[in-house]
């Protein structure tokens, strides 16, 4: 598919691109903005059609808190909205018809959380490469000494293990320790707030980076849908947009690097867990990233969930439990192997976004999340908050 920005009607793809390869067998839920009621409605996408189920479940949160969400939703009927392809097209159209529905991010009252540095091997390899200064022989020597000190393959290294503790000691002695490696191989994961409730963007709309940022990138990630009990009930795709120059100045600037207007994208839909798709399938997913710029630049990468250092369930246990509660559940972005170093403009300067970049994040089981990069300051301001949602549902008689 050609995602050239000159084709204003197709940059966001088609329904076939957006939906999972096995959409006919998937239980898919999401959200639309419904102009008839001037508010959001949960929907089921079934057989290529969008079905409004707000009369039964006013929020996606209510669906995800069910004992068996997929079993309930798969047999649920509601108001027919239209073809998914038509709703998608209206979402991404530069001349959106505001009398017709469009897609929103598929979560609502769930907390927006993200895990960082969860692919420790890639992080360690980057440290080795930087320490070696591009000398392959020196890199091999450093790696060999690490393996001798750890006594295990780095790919088998478990964060918080005795082997990880030995590696930490070795890295400290080599002068290579950093706060990022602490959360990469130490006992405690980095889990942070990616955005505020209801602030996430969906597919076929812009994502934002600060205009002042000169070094930033997408982060393609699998995102888990977690009940208030800590049970994982589904998954979607996410883009944890990151300002590398801001975080690089100080780790204490992580909120500024991560949480800006339109800086969190999720979607296109949530795939609920059932007998065909569960956490075991998530562990084996490959997430593909494609970036295409208006300047002709292209970037492709793949992040393999099988390479994650912290198991998704272990990350969820650090997110939610006796130590921390989320009464409306959470979405947890699981991190990425992607660390772009491909030069874009000048040798040695690496990759950074430009406005107009089209970012595609895809996985056969979850579909494709597509966004176009804009300055965060120019993206549509976030105005519809929790008070607005509650008021809208009250007027509609759904509370």
Contacts within 8 Å (CB) and 24+ apart, 243-246: 243/209, 243/210, 243/213, 243/215, 243/216, 244/215, 244/216, 244/217, 244/352, 245/213, 245/214, 245/215, 245/216, 246/210, 246/213
Work out the number of other CB atoms within 10 angstroms of the CB of residue 69.
24
CA dihedral 150, 154, 160, 162 (to 10 degrees): -20
pTM of this prediction exceeds 0.85: yes
| Number of residues that this document lists for the chain | 399
Beta-strand pair 358-363/286-292: antiparallel
Short-list 107, 44, 109, CA closest to 73: 44
How far is the C-alpha of 108 from the C-alpha of 156, rounded, in Å? 37
Burial classification of residue 45, based on how many CB atoms lie within 10 Å of its CB (0-12 exposed, 13-18 middle, 19 or more buried): buried
Would you give per-residue pLDDT tens digits along the chain (399 residues)?
333 333 444 799 999 999 999 999 999 999 999 999 999 999 999 999 999 999 999 999 999 999 999 999 998 999 999 999 999 999 999 999 999 999 999 999 999 999 998 887 667 766 665 666 656 677 778 778 777 766 666 667 788 888 888 888 888 887 777 787 888 888 999 999 999 999 999 999 999 999 999 989 999 999 999 999 999 999 999 999 999 889 888 889 999 999 999 999 999 999 999 999 999 999 999 999 999 999 999 999 999 999 999 999 999 999 999 999 999 999 999 999 887 778 888 777 778 999 999 999 999 999 999 999 999 999 999 999 999 999 999 999 999
Handedness of CA 305, 13, 60, 43 (dihedral sign): negative
At 1 the three-state DSSP class reads coil
Structure tokens at 167: 């590696």
Task: Please give the biggest Cα pair distance in the chain.
Answer: 69
Predicted pLDDT of residue 89: 96
Give CA separation, 286 vs 37, 273, 279, 399, in Å. Answer: 38, 18, 14, 40
Structure tokens at 32: 């639309």
């Amino acid at each position: 598919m050609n995602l050239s920005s000159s084709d204003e009607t197709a940059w966001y793809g088609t329904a076939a691109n957006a939906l999972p390869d096995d959409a006919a067998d998937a239980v898919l839920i999401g959200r639309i903005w419904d102009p008839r009621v001037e508010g959001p409605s949960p929907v089921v996408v079934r057989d290529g059609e969008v079905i409004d189920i707000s009369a039964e479940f006013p929020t996606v949160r209510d669906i995800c808190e069910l004992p068996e969400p997929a079993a309930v939703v798969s047999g649920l009927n509601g108001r027919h909205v239209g073809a998914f392809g038509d709703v998608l097209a209206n979402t991404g159209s530069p001349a959106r018809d505001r009398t017709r529905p469009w897609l929103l991010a598929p979560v609502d009252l769930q907390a927006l959380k993200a895990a960082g540095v969860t692919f420790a091997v890639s992080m360690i390899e980057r440290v080795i490469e930087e320490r070696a200064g591009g000398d392959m022989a020196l890199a091999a020597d450093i790696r060999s000494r690490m393996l001798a000190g750890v006594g295990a393959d780095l790919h088998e290294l478990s964060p918080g293990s005795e082997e990880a503790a030995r590696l930490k000691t070795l890295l400290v002695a080599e002068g290579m320790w950093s706060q990022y490696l602490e959360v990469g191989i130490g006992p405690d994961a980095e889990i942070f707030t990616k955005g505020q409730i209801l602030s996430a963007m969906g597919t076929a709309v812009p994502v934002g980076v600060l205009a002042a940022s000169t070094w930033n990138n997408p982060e393609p990630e699998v995102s888990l849908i977690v009940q208030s009990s800590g049970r994982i009930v589904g998954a979607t795709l996410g883009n944890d947009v990151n300002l590398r120059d801001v975080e690089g100045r100080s780790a204490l600037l992580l909120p500024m690097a991560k949480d800006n207007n339109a800086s969190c994208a999720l979607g296109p839909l949530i795939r609920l867990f059932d007998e065909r798709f569960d956490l075991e399938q998530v562990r084996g997913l490959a997430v593909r990233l494609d970036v295409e710029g208006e300047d002709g630049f292209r970037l492709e990468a793949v992040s393999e969930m099988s390479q994650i250092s912290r198991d998704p369930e272990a990350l969820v246990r650090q997110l939610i439990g006796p130590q921390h509660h989320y009464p409306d559940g959470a979405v947890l972005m699981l991190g990425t192997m992607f660390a772009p170093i491909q030069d874009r403009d000048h040798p040695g300067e690496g990759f950074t976004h430009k406005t107009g970049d089209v970012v595609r994040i895809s996985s056969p089981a979850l579909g494709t999340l597509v966004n176009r990069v804009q300055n965060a300051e120019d993206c549509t301001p976030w105005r519809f908050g929790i008070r607005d949602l509650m008021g809208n549902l009250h007027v509609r008689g759904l509370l």
